[in-house]
Amino acid sequence: MEAAAPAAGWRSPFGPGFPCVDVHVHLHPDGLARAIERWFARNGWINAHPFDPDAVADSLRARGVARFCFFSYAHRPGMARELNRWVAKTAARMPEAVGLATLHPDDPDLAAVAAEATGDLGLRGFKFHHSVQRFHVDDPRLWPVYERAEAAGHLFVLHVGTMPYRDEFTGVDRFRGVMARFPRLRVCVAHMGAFQSAEFLALLDRHPHLYVDTTMAMSPRARPYVGADPQAIPDAAIVRHQDRILFGSDFPLIPYDYDEERRWAWERTLDESVRRKIFRDNGLRFLDGG
Ligand SMILES: [Zn+2]
């Protein structure tokens, strides 16, 4: 599919007066970035944006993004430590960036890799992509990581919903069990928890530090690529959970213009105050604590 032209008929309100916070950005070391790009291209998904970290940061800055959270992932054991060092080095030269570490539970030195990530490397938490990394969110080898995270306030961004991968590694049931065991974990469930958004949203009332992000779940343009159904999330649900919804974009791995990930909120009947929470305030609270 072709990369789309910029969104027409909508003027982005973002800039110094309304800085945007994006909690879902992908940066990878060069070799891994190329491999991921090739995989997506083979699956009919032509990335519209360069993966080079400095180009990504420049594009986001130009789009009025004042803070963003980024991550890579270890799709096999033995690579997390090196990736985390790369994430830390990359984050260090971008003042607006918050880098999250990766882990692989098959690593025999899992505890040491996790401790290095949030200790010496100064990373704020972890991103897991359960389908790609092929482990369960409730893998007991992760209990010590969750336990330390709950005490220290580490962040998690978890792609644990079934969109677009319905497999044994995704779904709300195992995640619900993790939250029951670690109720104060600071988690952002990616993609609005789609295709089980209602079930994931229902957990927000019970857990004060649980969030969802809008990444590729709210834009009608994402549907051909991931099967998203934004209509499954009505305005009433957005208003009800307005303090726990974070803007995320999947940039730069989106096959259309960045603003396609943002304009949906202006095409719905939402108060400006709700938009400001989703695109700024909630993201700052998630990233900075509180
Ligand atoms: Zn993503």
Tens-place pLDDT, residues 85-141: 999 999 999 999 999 999 999 999 999 999 999 999 999 999 999 999 999 999 999
The DSSP call for residue 255 is S
- Residue 35 has a pLDDT of 87
If you measure from the C-alpha of residue 226 to the centroid of ligand 1, how many angstroms do you get, rounded to a whole number?
11
Strand (E) or helix (H) holding 12: none
If you measure from the C-alpha of residue 99 to the centroid of ligand 1, how many angstroms do you get, rounded to a whole number?
14
If you measure from the C-alpha of residue 148 to the centroid of ligand 1, how many angstroms do you get, rounded to a whole number?
25
pLDDT band at 8; cut points 50, 70, 90: low
If you measure from the C-alpha of residue 127 to the centroid of ligand 1, how many angstroms do you get, rounded to a whole number?
10
If you measure from the C-alpha of residue 241 to the centroid of ligand 1, how many angstroms do you get, rounded to a whole number?
21
- Residue 33 has a pLDDT of 86
pLDDT digits (tens, 9 = 90+) for 11-51: 999 999 999 999 999 999 998 888 888 888 887 777 778 88
Alpha-carbon span 210 to 189, nearest angstrom: 8
If you measure from the C-alpha of residue 251 to the centroid of ligand 1, how many angstroms do you get, rounded to a whole number?
8
If you measure from the C-alpha of residue 9 to the centroid of ligand 1, how many angstroms do you get, rounded to a whole number?
27
Q: Token pair of 267, please? A: 């095409």
> Is the per-residue pLDDT at 153 higher than 90?
yes
- Residue 42 has a pLDDT of 84
- The residue among 82, 56, 55, 85 whose CA lies nearest residue 70 is 56
If you measure from the C-alpha of residue 71 to the centroid of ligand 1, how many angstroms do you get, rounded to a whole number?
9
If you measure from the C-alpha of residue 240 to the centroid of ligand 1, how many angstroms do you get, rounded to a whole number?
25
- Residue 88 has a pLDDT of 98
Q: Does domain 22-288 have CATH number 3.20.20.140?
A: yes
State the chain's mean pLDDT as an integer: 94
If you measure from the C-alpha of residue 24 to the centroid of ligand 1, how many angstroms do you get, rounded to a whole number?
6
If you measure from the C-alpha of residue 216 to the centroid of ligand 1, how many angstroms do you get, rounded to a whole number?
9
If you measure from the C-alpha of residue 26 to the centroid of ligand 1, how many angstroms do you get, rounded to a whole number?
6
Alpha-carbon span 170 to 218, nearest angstrom: 20
> Looking at residues 68-79, what average pLDDT do you find?
96
- Residue 2 has a pLDDT of 41
- The residue among 100, 91, 88 whose CA lies nearest residue 124 is 100
List CB-based neighbours of ion ligand 1 within 5 Å. Answer: 250
pLDDT band at 165; cut points 50, 70, 90: confident
pLDDT band at 177; cut points 50, 70, 90: very high
- Residue 131 has a pLDDT of 92
- Residue 176 has a pLDDT of 98
If you measure from the C-alpha of residue 150 to the centroid of ligand 1, how many angstroms do you get, rounded to a whole number?
23
Neighbours of 42 (CB within 10 A): 8
If you measure from the C-alpha of residue 250 to the centroid of ligand 1, how many angstroms do you get, rounded to a whole number?
5
pLDDT band at 1; cut points 50, 70, 90: very low
pLDDT digits (tens, 9 = 90+) for 230-282: 999 999 999 999 999 999 999 999 999 999 999 999 999 999 999 999 999 99
Alpha-carbon span 102 to 115, nearest angstrom: 12
If you measure from the C-alpha of residue 144 to the centroid of ligand 1, how many angstroms do you get, rounded to a whole number?
25
What percent of the chain clears pLDDT 90, i.e. is strictly above it? 85
If you measure from the C-alpha of residue 286 to the centroid of ligand 1, how many angstroms do you get, rounded to a whole number?
17
If you measure from the C-alpha of residue 49 to the centroid of ligand 1, how many angstroms do you get, rounded to a whole number?
14
In this structure, the strands spanning 186-189 and 210-213 are parallel
The structure's pTM equals: 0.94
Domains of the chain by residue range: 22-288
Alpha-carbon span 101 to 83, nearest angstrom: 8
